Amino acid sequence: MNGYLNIALPKGRLGEKVYDMFERSGYPCPSIKENNRKLIFENEELKIRFFWVKPSDVAIYVERGAADIGVAGKDILMEYKPEVYELCDLNMGKCSMCVAGKNGFVDNRNKTLRVATKFVNIAKEYYSAQGRDIDIIALNGSIELAPILDLSDVIVDIVETGTTLKENNLEVVERFMPISARLIANKSSFKFKTEVIEDITEKLQALAEKL
Amino acid sequence: MDKILSVLTPEEYVYLSLRALYSEYGYKKYRMSKFEEYDLYAKNKDFLVSESAITFTDTDGKLLALKPDVTLSIIKNSKDINGVMKVYYNENVYRISKGTKTFKEIMQAGLECIGDVSADTIAEVLSLASKSLGVISENNVLTVSHLGVISEVLNYASISNDKKEQVLRLLGQKNLPEIKNLLSNENISDDKKELVYSLVTVYGSPEKVCDKLDGFAVSKEAIKCLGELKNVISVLKSENANVIIDFSVVNDMNYYNGISFKGFIEGVPTGVISGGQYDNLLVKMGKPYKAVGFAVYLDEISRVKGE
């Protein structure tokens, strides 16, 4: 798209921290900090353009080329398996994909396990690797509620500190996948904007290693 | 004539231009029927891009499928070849669309050389792939890799078979952090690890990469493979093709071997050309030939060409 490098950032606290990394790497876009309702922010001099999207949508923007690069959580990448390059681990937004249940939960293998989750594919893959028969309950939020109301036996979700779980008498049964934010790139864009994408990767990598 | 040209859609124009190009090089058009016995696809499931096919039962009870792929049929029907059989095709194939999870009809063109495939044949196919990209747009690039080089480097680094598959998948994503992670607990010398990492980092135009390639000369076989890679690169360069060496172009080694390539057009988010040598597939299908070819995905093209 007319020589600009389009960058999709995840809306929210993580996205703001990631933007700071871009700024410190020499790719600033001051207008992004103005408090207004604009959706797209450009730096005409550097020919870069930032936009905020829902975190789970970043991978789609990048896969389909609306954004050349973007920052997405490993959870989203594992769930949707988009056809993109995964260039760098930004060492931020760290948490883990976990199985959690009520305090003292023991899996009864006689029964089909009811699993509530936002991450349907990850949960399926995790349990099918163990040959465990499960029933998936796809939810969009407040996953923790499911075992409390006996909607499910366990949940599969990302856990950062575990405070929400603890306050609701839930506990982690297993942490099975470390999660962090990743820099991703569209496969075609990478070929035509190699220099700038490689430069950004290198600089972000250097910053990430110091975290 | 101009009147006819003016009513062509971008896909039709591209397709006719490709057809003219391929016939000029002596390729014959290959026509096939809309369906094949399902068995052919079931046996070679992993070769197919799409997981399943539209199946139905014929009047005699045989299970048939609307073709999800053309290459398998061409191979199946290849016999008594003297020298090289050179064919091209333009067919509708039926695949599951990733977005809607429903079947869709995709127009696909492609070209295959089957038989006594020589280095010159391979170079010709790559040069036709690059010219095909040129028909679609000047802003194109052909990325070329050699599976033999990758395989030799992984063997040399003594990466276990179960890890190899994971490394290949990660290499396809240029996922250096995860490859480092995966190898961190392996008992492999740092030099060898660095060599595996350089499969990701050695990327770019032949001028930029050329002297780095020699680092991969870890065995007799690797040297031979590098020679093959350099040969096609020099042919492409002599034709002023936009070519990039990129080992992240990986194909399933159960079917493919040797040179592998993908072609991209600026503004089209996914590759429009995909191809390579697939001698291993012919071995699996019990054919005493070698093969090389590529497919052109025409469905994304209308967006760049405009009306």
Residue range B202-219: mean pLDDT, rounded: 93
Phi, psi (deg, nearest 5) at residue A67: -120, 140
Cα–Cα distance, A32 to A16 (Å, whole number)? 10
Residue of chain B minimizing CA distance to A186 = B269
Average pLDDT over residues B130-142: 94
pLDDT for position A1? 47
Query: Is-contact B37 B62, C-beta < 8 A?
Result: yes
Q: Which residues contact B142 (CB under 8 A, 6 or more apart)?
A: B126, B129, B130, B133, B236, B241, B242, B243, B244, B261, B262, B263, B264, B273
> Own/partner pairs for B50-54, CB < 8 Å, 24+ apart?
B50/B95, B50/B96, B51/B96, B52/B96, B53/B94, B54/B94, B54/B103
Whether residues A188 and B271 touch (CB distance < 8 A) is answered with yes
Q: For position A54, what pLDDT does the model report?
A: 94
A187 at B interface, C-beta within 8 A: yes
Distance CA A206, CA B5 (A): 54
How high is the pLDDT of residue B108?
Answer: 86
Task: Give domain limits for chain B.
Answer: 2-305
Whether residue B132 is predicted with pLDDT greater than 60 in this model: the reply is yes
B206: confidence class by pLDDT, cuts 50, 70, 90? very high
Mapped onto helix, strand or coil, the DSSP state of residue A71 is strand
Mark yes or no for CB contact B173/A84 under 8 Å. yes
Q: What is the pLDDT of residue A134?
A: 94
B268 shares contact with chain A (CB less than 8 Å): yes
pLDDT the model gives residue A2: 57
d(CA A183, CA A87): 6
Task: Give the gap in angstroms from C-alpha A47 to the nearest C-alpha of chain B.
Answer: 17
Res B170 pLDDT > 60: yes
Q: A179: nearest CA in chain B? A: B178
Q: What pLDDT does A151 receive?
A: 96
Mean pLDDT of A3-12: 94
Average pLDDT value for residue range A10-30: 93
pLDDT tens by residue, B232-254: 999 999 999 999 999 999 988 88
Q: Of how many residues is chain B composed? A: 307
Span A79-106, average pLDDT: 95
Determine whether the interchain pair B269/A191 forms a contact, defined as Cβ–Cβ distance below 8 Å.
no
The pLDDT-based confidence of B10 (bands split at 50, 70, 90) is: confident
Banded pLDDT at A81 (limits 50, 70, 90): very high
- Residue B103 pLDDT greater than 70, yes or no: yes
Q: What is the mean predicted confidence (pLDDT) over B189-214?
A: 93
Contacts of A83 in chain B (CB under 8 A): 270
Inter-chain CB proximity A87 and B267 less than 8 Å: no
The third-level CATH classification (topology) of the domain covering B2-305 is: BirA Bifunctional Protein; domain 2 (3.30.930)
Mean pLDDT, chain A, whole residue set? 93
pLDDT of residue B48: 82
Burial B72-103 (b: 16+ CB within 10 A, else e): bbbbeebeeeeebbbbbbbbebbbbeeeeeeb
Strand pairing partners for B90? B109
Residue of A187, A193, A197, A200 for testing the chain B interface, max B β-carbons within 10 Å: A187
Best mutation target, B175, B180, B245, to test chain A (most A CBs within 10 A)? B175
Among chain B residues, the shortest Cα distance to A66 is held by: B269
Mean pLDDT of all residues in B112-133: 96
Which chain B residues are within 8 Å of A1, Cβ to Cβ?
Answer: 267
Question: What is the arithmetic mean of pLDDT over A41-52?
Answer: 94
Confidence (pLDDT) at B202? 95
B-contacting residues in A 84-123 (Cβ below 8 Å): 84-89
Give the C-alpha separation, B75 to B32, whole Å.
12
* Per-residue model confidence (pLDDT) at position B305: 62
Which residues of B fall within a CB distance of 8 Å from A192?
Answer: 139, 141, 264, 266
Top mean pLDDT of B81-90, B122-131, B296-305 is at B122-131
Instruction: Answer with the residue of higher pLDDT: B257 or B11.
Output: B257
pLDDT over threshold 60, residue A51: yes
- Sheet arrangement for strand A69-73: A40-43, A48-53, A5-10, A69-73, A181-186, A84-89
- For the stretch A146-184, pLDDT in tens is 999 999 999 999 999 989 999 999 999 999 999 999 999
8 A C-beta contact, residue A53 and residue A8: yes
Residue-level pLDDT at B79: 85
- Which residue of B177, B204, B270 is in closest CB contact with A188? B270
Q: How far is the C-alpha of B36 from the C-alpha of B38, rounded, in Å?
A: 6
| ipTM for the complex shown | 0.89
Residue in B204, B264, B269 closest to A63 by CB: B269
> Which pLDDT belongs to residue B306?
53
Looking at CA atoms only, how far is residue A158 from chain B in angstroms?
19
**DSSP secondary structure letter of residue B300:** T
Please state the rounded mean pLDDT for residues B36-41.
88
pLDDT(B307) > 50: no
Chain B residues near residue A183 by CB distance under 8 angstroms? none
Q: Provide the mean pLDDT of chain B.
A: 91
List pLDDT tens digits, range B64-101. 998 888 898 899 888 888 899 999 999 888 888 777 78
A69 near B CB under 8 A? no
* pLDDT of A190 over the 90 cut: yes
Q: Kindly state whether B178 is in contact with chain A, defined as any CB-CB distance less than 8 angstroms.
A: yes
Chain B: residue whose CA lies nearest to A205: B177
Closest CA to B263 of B99, B148, B137, B174: B137
Q: How far apart are the first and last CA of chain B?
A: 18
